[in-house]
Amino acid sequence: MLTDSELAVVREVLIRGPIPRRDLAARVGLSSPSLTRLVTPFLASGLLVETSEPDSGAVGRPTRPLTVRSDWGRFAGVKITGDRLHCVVTDGRAVPLVTADEALISHGPEQVADQLAAFLRRITGEIDALGVSVGGVVADGLVVDGVFLGWRDVDFGALMAARLGIPVVTENDVVALAEMQRWFGAGLSTSGFALITIGVGVGYGLVVDGRVVSSREAGAGLAAHVRLLENGPECELGHRGCADSLLTSRSIEGRYSALTTRSWTADEVLEAAARGDEAARQVTGESALALGRFIALAANLSLQSTVVLAGDGIGLWALEGDRMQEAASADRGPGADAIHIEVDTSGFAAWARGAAVVAIQHTLRCGQGMTGVV
Amino acid sequence: MLTDSELAVVREVLIRGPIPRRDLAARVGLSSPSLTRLVTPFLASGLLVETSEPDSGAVGRPTRPLTVRSDWGRFAGVKITGDRLHCVVTDGRAVPLVTADEALISHGPEQVADQLAAFLRRITGEIDALGVSVGGVVADGLVVDGVFLGWRDVDFGALMAARLGIPVVTENDVVALAEMQRWFGAGLSTSGFALITIGVGVGYGLVVDGRVVSSREAGAGLAAHVRLLENGPECELGHRGCADSLLTSRSIEGRYSALTTRSWTADEVLEAAARGDEAARQVTGESALALGRFIALAANLSLQSTVVLAGDGIGLWALEGDRMQEAASADRGPGADAIHIEVDTSGFAAWARGAAVVAIQHTLRCGQGMTGVV
DNA sequence: TCCAATTAATTCCGTGGTAGAAGTAATTGT
DNA sequence: ACAATTACTTCTACCACGGAATTAATTGGA
């Protein structure tokens, strides 16, 4: 188990890449002597290494920046949806090395655990820890209400840990994605942001003051049914013009299919729109307007000026980014700083990466593989 | 200057009234021995005292709860609006002792400072610190953009400190109110909540993880123009059915006056509605629906389950609370915990109290009057 | 009435994280 | 060659913290 300061040091080095001791000390709020004391054992164990960076120009003794050893850690992240396992194997910095997914055979927790264990053994060798993310309410690693799987109070982490013999962390999918963005995305340049995901569903997460908001409400998907367009289409729950009714792939598919003679996938609709198809353009334009409004709502009500967009439906951004930005600006209050929109274009991969990040975070917190590194 | 632990101890004792050392230790995350060490000097200086509470029933040695000496501290809080000074003088627990207000003669910072200094001298004797709150963007005690006063980068705290010779803290009005709720209101039972104020304007604040969100955005009033009713009235900025257009006293006055032959104050409209006047009821009902929706939006997008209502327009709650609650529930997502609505019925007084609270907090942080207490 | 049992709070003491002061290291510029 | 500058480390004292044992103040029962 690492002390708070040790954890902070390793975390900052991991996240902020090669960083001079000087900057590091300032960032973790310690003096240089304390930093030396903390860093020395990690250098000895090999977890941290000095880079020989030129650092040209400046006068004085050159810095000797610190990094986490490049081959430290191997993690797996899995997002379990209602019908597939989406896996990624990453290094210690959550950089994907292997990406794979397969159809889910059964919804039973034991069966899913069996399938996932076999799948992981197939795609990767040894890993340090596994992160699992699911939609729905997750509390203390327990899947309280896994909406797409019908799970109730399932300790899926324990099931996987028993099969793999490594630490397994379970987390809500949006919270995991927010953690990923906090450590390796927008969080590097800002202490807070709202996160909106679009795809099969609409997700919403919040990072305030450098911390992910992970109350019970965070996993409940409450923002998905926010009213955005008074006379919009109807979602499954009967809301007119809510986020879900306008932003999910199903919504895009449904609205375009209604305008044409056959049914389409969301990607096909985006392609059609990109080609200039008027009907498709109408559909994507409406979604863009809605998403722009959603962005403004999120920024205004979370009191953050940065909004991160992610998820597999994010292709909409490339197509209608301008319209979205325009709609967002229109709903931003008067005299306010413009909303800074960051887009994670990695699509579905981001979800599994999020799961990997919570595994990385857990590993650091518990200090496993930290002191024992050769 | 107090250490973090000392500050935490005094703060918890101040906030949570008489509290046994045992509970106090658990709350500030320290061991009993550490607590004894920290408390002893404060008992010696007289800041903290033991209450002789019966604490009947339980077996074992009875607790000897701690409190802040009842006559510790005297603070003033002032909310400056566009046309009035609203003052309150409080004890160390932000309990109002004197409340007074007067019309503002001029908008010039120097003149306002002169008037306020004279006013304070008239209504109170010596005070330990003064808190000032204004609408608009306040950063590091500097009024960057005081919207109702037309102030730009005014260091009003310095002006007042020069006149009174005591510490003066300047803060955004909603942030100050949120601080008040955090220490002496909803914050006692929950670590996070959204705050909505209605009155002359619509205010929105956020407390997450026990901390008030006080980014630049917090003071900008960005939530005031959130779209709530597609075909609602128009606000000054031309938004249809935004919070401002439906919830301010002006909105209530304007909509009712339009239905009748003369003009009315908001209070008169509420009274008429209470008497059963159909037209008034229509107006307040529409506002209640809007506020209910606003509450749900705030809860869903802040990921909090508690929403605090405050401000001088809060009379609407007594009249239309049920309808608001209903509207809020309707917009709360499926399967979610109900929104816990807390209402601060103290109306305008809450604003000035908020200002007093930031003065109290400042005094504690700086440890003034803490060690020197006789 | 005296003695467990129980809970509250304190004293004693060792540990460990921290930073200040001063020293060393490695560069640039003249 | 030597100052100037910046980066980092060594030495050392401090002090906040908590575990273990102790004292304090009550209830309840024999």
Closest A-chain CA to B333: A222
Same structural domain, A152 and A211: no
Which pLDDT score is estimated for B374? 37
Preferred mutation among B172, B303, B305, B307 to probe A, highest tally of A CBs within 10 A? B303
Q: A183 in a domain, yes or no?
A: no
Which pLDDT score is estimated for A211? 95
Same structural domain, B223 and B313: yes
Which pLDDT score is estimated for A55? 64
Same structural domain, B195 and B323: yes
B226-241 average pLDDT score: 87
What residues contact A332, with CB distance under 8 A and at least 6 apart? A296, A299, A300, A338, A339, B222
Nearest by CB: A227 against B218, B225, B331: B331
Q: Is B305 on the interface with A (CB under 8 A)?
A: yes
- The alpha carbon of residue A358 is apart from the nearest alpha carbon of chain B, in Å, by 20
Q: B374 in a domain, yes or no?
A: no
Judging contacts by C-beta atoms under 8 Å, the chain A residues touching residue B208 are 206, 208-209, 211, 213
Last residue of a domain, one of A68, A88, A108: A68
Q: Which nucleotide is nearest to B58 (CA to C1')?
A: D27
pLDDT band at B373 (very low <50, low <70, confident <90, very high): very low
Cα–Cα distance between A46 and B247 in angstroms, integer? 61
Q: Which residue has the higher pLDDT, A202 or B336?
A: A202
Please indicate whether, in this complex, the C-beta atoms of A220 and B305 are within 8 angstroms of each other.
no
Tell me: the pLDDT tens digits for B197-212?
999 999 999 999 999 9
For every residue of chain B, which 3-state class applies, written as one string?
A: CCCHHHHHHHHHHHHCCCECHHHHHHHHCCCHHHHHHHHHHHHHHCCEEECCCCCCCCCCCCCCCEEECCCCCEEEEEEECCCEEEEEEEECCCCEEEEEEEECCCCCHHHHHHHHHHHHHHHCCCCCEEEEEECCEEECCEEEEECCCCEEEECHHHHHHHHHCCCEEEEEHHHHHHHHHHHHCHHHCCCCEEEEEECCCEEEEEEECCEECCCHHHHCCHHHHCECCCCCCECCCCCECEHHHHHCHHHHHHHHHHHCCCCCCHHHHHHHHHHCCHHHHHHHHHHHHHHHHHHHHHHHHHCCCEEEEECHHHHHHHHHHHHHHHHHHHHCCCCCCCCEEEECCCCCHHHHHHHHHHHHHHHHHHCCCCCCCC
Same structural domain, B195 and B157: no
Residue among A67, A92, A82, A84 nearest A364 (CA)? A92
Q: A374 in a domain, yes or no?
A: no
> HSE on the CB side for B50, CA within 13 Å?
13
Which pLDDT score is estimated for A374? 37
Q: A371 in a domain, yes or no?
A: no
Q: Which residue has the higher pLDDT, B230 or B160?
A: B160
Cα–Cα distance between A23 and B69 in angstroms, integer? 44
Last residue of a domain, one of B31, B53, B68: B68
Q: Is the CB of A260 under 7 A from strand C?
A: no
Which pLDDT score is estimated for B334? 72
Q: How far is CA A339 from the centre of its chain?
A: 20
pTM confidence score: 0.93
Tell me: the pLDDT tens digits for B91-116?
999 999 999 999 999 999 999 999 99
Q: B372 in a domain, yes or no?
A: no
Q: How far is CA A239 from the centre of its chain?
A: 27
Residue A311 structural domain: 188-343
Residue among A208, A203, A175, A202 nearest A301 (CA)? A208
Same structural domain, A139 and A205: no
Q: Is the CB of A70 under 7 A from strand C?
A: no
**Residue B275, number of CB atoms within 10 A of its CB:** 9
Q: Is B131 on the interface with A (CB under 8 A)?
A: no
Which pLDDT score is estimated for A372? 45
Tell me: the pLDDT tens digits for B260-306?
888 888 998 999 899 989 888 999 999 999 999 999 999 999 999 99
Same structural domain, A339 and A221: yes
Please indicate whether, in this complex, the C-beta atoms of A333 and B220 are within 8 angstroms of each other.
yes
Q: Is A4 on the interface with B (CB under 8 A)?
A: no
| pLDDT by residue, tens only, chain A of 374 residues | 788 999 999 999 999 979 999 999 999 999 999 999 999 999 998 899 988 766 666 777 788 899 999 889 999 999 999 999 999 999 999 999 999 999 999 999 999 999 999 999 999 989 999 999 999 999 999 999 998 899 999 999 999 999 999 999 999 999 999 999 999 999 999 999 999 999 999 999 999 999 999 988 888 888 999 999 888 888 888 888 899 999 999 999 989 888 888 888 889 899 889 998 988 899 999 999 999 999 999 999 999 999 999 999 999 999 999 999 999 999 987 777 899 999 999 988 999 999 999 999 999 987 655 544 43
Q: B267 in a domain, yes or no?
A: yes
* CATH number for the domain harbouring residue B58: 1.10.10.10
Q: B257 in a domain, yes or no?
A: yes
Please indicate whether, in this complex, the C-beta atoms of B301 and A226 are within 8 angstroms of each other.
yes
CA of A10 to C1' of D25 (A): 49
Q: B245 in a domain, yes or no?
A: yes
Same structural domain, B302 and B325: yes
Which pLDDT score is estimated for A373? 45
Which pLDDT score is estimated for B366? 78
Q: Is B105 on the interface with A (CB under 8 A)?
A: no
Strand D nucleotides within 7 Å of a protein CB: 4-12, 16-20, 24-28
Q: Which nucleotide is nearest to A28 (CA to C1')?
A: C18
- The alpha carbon of residue B108 is apart from the nearest alpha carbon of chain A, in Å, by 22
Q: Judging by beta carbons within 10 Å of its beta carbon (0-12, 13-18, 19+), is residue B209 exposed, middle or buried? A: middle
Same structural domain, B9 and B127: no
Last residue of a domain, one of A36, A68, A100: A68
Q: How far is CA A294 from the centre of its chain?
A: 19
Which pLDDT score is estimated for A371? 46
Q: Does an H or E element contain A212, and which?
A: strand A211-212
Number of domains, chain A: 3
Same structural domain, A194 and A339: yes
Judging contacts by C-beta atoms under 8 Å, the chain A residues touching residue B240 are none
Which pLDDT score is estimated for A162? 96
Same structural domain, A230 and A258: yes
Same structural domain, B327 and B219: yes
Same structural domain, B153 and B200: no
pLDDT band at B142 (very low <50, low <70, confident <90, very high): very high
* CATH number for the domain harbouring residue B122: 3.30.420.40
